[in-house]
Each structure stands twice: as structure tokens, then as C-alpha cells.
Amino acid sequence: MNTLFDAVAFARKGPLSKLNFARRDMTSRLGLAVGIGLLIYYLFVFFVPFAIAVWLSFQNWDFIVDPKFVGMRNYLRMFNDNYFWQAVRVTVTFSAIEITVAMIIGLILAFLLSRLRGFKQRFYLALFYLPVVVPSVVSVLLWRWLFISDGGAFNVLLTSVGLPAQPFLLSADQALYCIIVMVIWTFLGGIIVLFLAGINDIPEHLMEAAMLDGAGLLRQFWSIVLPLLRPVIVYQAVVSVIGTFQLFEQFVFLSGPGFSTRTLAVYTYQLGFKSLDLGYGAAVSMFIFVMLLVATVLQLRRYRDAIEY
């Protein structure tokens, strides 16, 4: 019995073959049941709502009156809608800055943490991860208090060192950046955990060889960690793009003046539930879907090219 195939053949011929078949039959039935269950779940939770949203995007509907088919009009409206493009600008600016900054900081901190061991590493990891488990409404309220222009913690700090107080959320120029800071703080822990796991997977002998060749920390990071971590970085980028497009309460509760912090997600909600313009809201959500799809495909292409080891 040298191979797995031999073992299988023996089992089929042997006295346990009936029992094995019965078990296999049961397993495949269970598998079938789980598979069908999942299929039904995905059908009702994802595919049916998605199909309805696609249908809705070609209608003018308000929940109540009969839907009116309007063809491509909702999609054409988007191109002449300044509010839509403003929301696209805000969303893309937010995502680009938030993801870039969070990933750079996360990468550096994960690398530094990977140099620690035992309690120290766990302690700092827990510290960075803490905001992830804080309910988002609580952290939003906390940051709103920190950003209060008159007597808020940040301005007290700034004025105490002789710097001018800032309007923060009251300024159309600063509000978006305030939310970026808050979101980075919130999700940094998750990014660090992922990167740390990736760094820990890098074969130790590569680092040791680099050290023997006289490579310092910066050189190790640049020449070994960064290239070998590329698949993880690409994965994190994909997840982050999708995640930032879906953020909602942060923009509702920390909103800046005018349209300065209105993202596509908030705009879609307002179109649907405030304006009762559901068809157009659905068309905007389809645009978000296509944007995310394109971004994901582009990033996954880069993932395919990532270095394997």
C-alpha cells in the first residue's frame, strides 16, 4: 500500500466498503444540502436584490405608485448631475487618501511589530486593534467631540501650544480630512493584523540571509518584506476599496458643510429615502457596483502578477 490510490482500492474491496459507501453517500447528501442552502441564501440575499436594483434603475418609482419605465434616463441623468459628480469626487478622494495612508502606516507598524515577540507584540497589537471592536457610533461620537471647533480636545491642544484653533468639521476644506483621520484610526488595527500575518509567513531564512549580508531593517523591509507581501497588499487594497465605498455612518454623523463630505453611499441613501427617487438611487448604486468591479478586476490582475515564493 504505497499510495493513496492503493488505500482507496483496498477500502473499496475490503469488509468496510459498504459502510464507507454509506458514509460517502451521507456526506454527499449533507454536502448537497449545504450547497443548496447556500445557493438559496445567496439567491435571496444577493442575486434577487441585485436583479431588483438593476430593474429599478430603469424605473421612476417611490415605493408606492406604479413604477414607470424610463429606459436609460436615470443613467443619463448621472452625467448631467453636478451632485452626483461631487459625490464621486468626494468618494474617490476619500478612498484614495484613506487607503494609501492607512496601508503605509499599517505596513510600517506591522513590520515594527514583527520585530517584537511575546507579550510586547500582543500588547501593542491589542492596543492598535481596540478601535476595530468599538461600535462605530461610539467612535463617531467620540471623534465628533474631539473635532468640536469651540472647546474640542484637538483645539484645546493646538491653542495650548500656541497654534491657531481650526474649524475642522465646520470647514469644507478640512471636514473630509477629519473623517479620513477618524476612519484610519478605526480600521488600522485590522490592517496591521493582516500584514503581520503576511510578514510572519515570510520564510525566516530569507531575513537571516539578508542580515548576514549586512542588510539593515530598512533594506530588509524594502527588498524582502515589501515584494513578498505583495499578494497581501493587493488583497488589502481590494477589500479597502470595497469597504471605503460602503462607509456610511461616519459621513452622516461627521458631515461637513454643504456637499463637502457627501459620498456616493450617502447620496444613494438620500435619493432613496429622503427624495423618494428610488430609480435614480438604484442607477447610482449600479454605478458604484461597476466602479468597484472595475477597481477589483484591475487590482486582481496585479495580484496575478504578484511574486510567488
Partner 1 sequence: MSMWVQDFGPVVNAFKVAAEDYASRSGTVKVTVQSIPYNDLQAKVIPSVAAGNEAEIMMGYNDWYVATDISRLFLPLDDFFGGRAELEKTIFPSSMDAIDTPGNKTYYLPYLAGLRGAVTTVNAGQYAEQNLEYGKFATFDEFLEAARNLTIREGDSIKRAGLSIWNAALVMLKTWIWQLGGEFYARDTGKWSLSSPEGEDILQRLQNLYQKDKVCNLDIANREYEFFLQGALSTQMEGAWTLGVAADANPELKLDSVVTPRLSDARQAIACLDHIAVLTLSKRLASDTQKQEAGIGLAKALISPDALISITDAYSGSLMSKELYSDPRIQRTRFGAASKRLAEGVWPNARFTQDRVANQAPALTELQRALTNEISIKEALANADAYLNEQEAQARERLRA
Nearer to partner 1, 17 or 275 (CB): 275
Query: What is d(CA 122, CA 116) in angstroms, rounded to the nearest whole number?
Result: 9
Nearer to partner 1, 94 or 280 (CB): 280
State which H helix or E strand residue 69 sits in.
strand 68-69
Nearest-5° angle of CA 191, CA 92, CA 133?
A: 30
Interface residue list for partner 1 (CB under 8 A): 60-68, 82-83, 149-150, 167, 170, 172, 257-259, 270, 273-277, 280
Is-contact 165 159, C-beta < 8 A?
yes
Provide the minimum distance between the beta carbon of 225 and partner 1 in the complex, in angstroms, as a whole number. Answer: 45
User: Residue 84 burial (CB < 10 Å; 0-12/13-18/19+)?
Assistant: buried
Nearer to partner 1, 174 or 220 (CB): 174
Provide the minimum distance between the beta carbon of 180 and partner 1 in the complex, in angstroms, as a whole number. Answer: 20
Provide the minimum distance between the beta carbon of 276 and partner 1 in the complex, in angstroms, as a whole number. Answer: 5
Nearer to partner 1, 196 or 271 (CB): 271
In the numeric block, which cell numbers belong to residue 100?
Answer: 494609501
Provide the minimum distance between the beta carbon of 271 and partner 1 in the complex, in angstroms, as a whole number. Answer: 8
Provide the minimum distance between the beta carbon of 31 and partner 1 in the complex, in angstroms, as a whole number. Answer: 36
Question: What are phi and psi for residue 103, nearest 5 degrees?
Answer: -75, -35
Provide the minimum distance between the beta carbon of 161 and partner 1 in the complex, in angstroms, as a whole number. Answer: 19
Residue carrying the nine cell digits 502606516: 105
CA 170 from centre of chain: 27
Nearer to partner 1, 67 or 231 (CB): 67
Strand partners, 60: 68
Nearer to partner 1, 111 or 280 (CB): 280
- For residues 13, 15, 17 and 22, what is the CA-based torsion angle, rounded to 10 degrees? 170
